[in-house]
Amino acid sequence: MTSPHVYDKAKYHVETVEAHGLPEEHASNHTVFFLRWLIEHDLTSKSFVEEMGGDFEQYRAGKKSIHDLYNDWWDCCLVDDMLSEEGNGFAMEYFDFENGKYLNDYTGLLQGTLPSEYHIRYTEENYARMKEVIYQRYIEWKSHS
């Protein structure tokens, strides 16, 4: 049995966020943009969604935020068993911080004159901008896979 692949954990970024004097949720911001997109495109694991049950439905109904879901159910971690096979294929290529394009897309689109990527706020406006880029990367990935 292979160990799970961890794409990211908020705790990897907490010290940096604190050093910048930002709210703790900023340690998760870069990941929740991607997570929300994965959920909206049904690229999460069916078993994981079933396990979340009512909390997932509350999120879908707008009664829980993406940060709540990421914190409560995902323990502020993005791990392969939470994604579908297709979701993992895409995440392995795109969300990989060393070789993927996600972080460059995220900072290039949203950072502007902010001092760091940790200063980027999770807002509906920012998500609307980012989801278009993620979708384009997904279409590119699909055409090559």
* 3-state SS track over 14-39: HHHHHHCCCCHHHHCHHHHHHHHHHH
Share of the chain above pLDDT 90, in %: 69
Domain-located, residue 21:
yes
- At residue 70, the 3 state secondary structure works out as helix
The total number of structural domains that make up the chain? 1
- Per residue in 108-127, is it b (16+ CB within 10 Å) or e — as a string? eebeeeeeebbbbebeeebb
Domain-located, residue 76:
yes
Domain-located, residue 113:
yes
Residue 2 pLDDT > 70: no
Supply the mean pLDDT for the chain. 92
Domain-located, residue 130:
yes
Give the pLDDT score at 32: 95
Residue 108 pLDDT > 90: yes
pLDDT digits (tens, 9 = 90+) for 117-139: 999 999 999 999 999 999 999 99
Which amino acid appears at position 46 of this protein? Answer: K
Residue 9 confidence class, pLDDT cut points 50, 70, 90: confident
Residue 55 pLDDT > 70: yes
Domain that holds residue 27: 6-144
Question: How much is the average pLDDT of 38-65?
Answer: 88
Domain-located, residue 64:
yes
Domain-located, residue 1:
no
Domain-located, residue 55:
yes
